[in-house]
Amino acid sequence: MIRFTGVTKRYPDAGDALRDVSFYLKRGEMAFLTGHSGAGKSTLLKLIAVMERCSSGTVLLDGQNLNHVSDKKIPYIRRKLGLIFQDYKLLHDRTVFDNVALPLVVAGFSPADIPRRVRAALDKVGLLGRERKYPLTLSGGEQQRVGIARAVVHKPPVILADEPTGNLDPQLSDEIMDLFEQFKQVGTTVLIASHDIALIKQMRHRVLQLDHGKLTEDKP
């Protein structure tokens, strides 16, 4: 599903964020991306979401070479992804419902179809009944779950999460990880960037470890 071949990302000022990174994630596989801060975790995720482009090498998503995707087609690539962020990136002037519905609205889903899908996604993360609330009235864990509902509402084949549990206590983190596990069960490819070693060990999934931009460990 995701294939990196000899990928290097060089920033003009900061040097190499990624150096000669190669790995392959198959469909329905779940993996953690770990390493110290500044090791290149976020950069790697950004390359998959075409928020950045690699300096050399190739990034394939679902068989598509992302180096050759024009700016105009980037939105259609992103619709295959569910992105989850450490800071949730919710719209505070919109209700939970509107936040979760956003990926459906931008993709042109029929308005008759949207409420059902939004409720299904909210049900999955345990927030059914909170549709009319505004994000700031929810707790951190609940906000992150709104973010997850938004990431999965359009049933993307790939979920990318950047430190999804960074701001949450251990119990909430476990709940969120359980959610990811469920998505993996239904065939979604999940890649989670995290430096929470304890959590990663407990999950027994494949771990991609980055050290100063190099992939040092890739244990299945």
Partner 1 sequence: MKKNKHKPVTRHNRGVSVSIQDKFYAFLHIHAHALFSSLGRLVRTPFTSAMTLLVLALAIALAGSFYILVVNVQQITGDLQSSNRISLFLKLEVTPKQAQKLAQNLKKNTVFQEIKLISKDQAMEEFKAYSGFGEALNALQDNPLPIVIQILPKPARLDQVGLTQLIDQLENLPEADFAQLDMQWVKRLQALMAIARTGVILVSLLLAFAVLFIIGNTIRLELQNRSDEVQISKLVGATDVFIRRPFLYSGFWVGFFAALIAWIIITLILLVINQPVAKLFALYDVTYQIIYLRFSEIIMMCFLSSALGILGAWSVLRYQLQQIRPE
Q: Are strands 56-61 and 64-65 parallel, antiparallel or unpaired?
A: antiparallel
Pick the stretch among 101-109, 137-145, 163-171, 201-209 that binds partner 1 (CB under 8 A). Answer: 101-109
Q: Which residues ranging from 135 to 194 are in contact with partner 1 (CB under 8 A)?
A: 150, 154-157, 187-188
For partner 1, give the closer residue by CB, 91 or 197: 91
Pick the stretch among 33-41, 84-92, 125-133, 204-212 that binds partner 1 (CB under 8 A). Answer: 84-92
Considering only 6, 15, 38, 75, the residue that binds partner 1 (CB under 8 A) is 75
Q: Is 95 exposed, middle or buried (0-12, 13-18, 19+ CB in 10 A)?
A: middle
Whole-Å CA distances, 59 to 54, 65, 71? 8, 6, 16
Please give the structure tokens belonging to residue 46: 């950004």
d(CA 55, CA 36): 22
DSSP reduced 3-state for 8 = strand
Pick the stretch among 12-20, 70-78, 119-127, 164-172 that binds partner 1 (CB under 8 A). Answer: 70-78
For partner 1, give the closer residue by CB, 38 or 75: 75
Using only C-alpha atoms, the chain has a radius of gyration, in whole angstroms, of 17
Q: Which residues bind partner 1 (CB under 8 A)?
A: 49, 51, 62, 72-73, 75-81, 83, 89-91, 102-113, 150, 154-157, 187-188
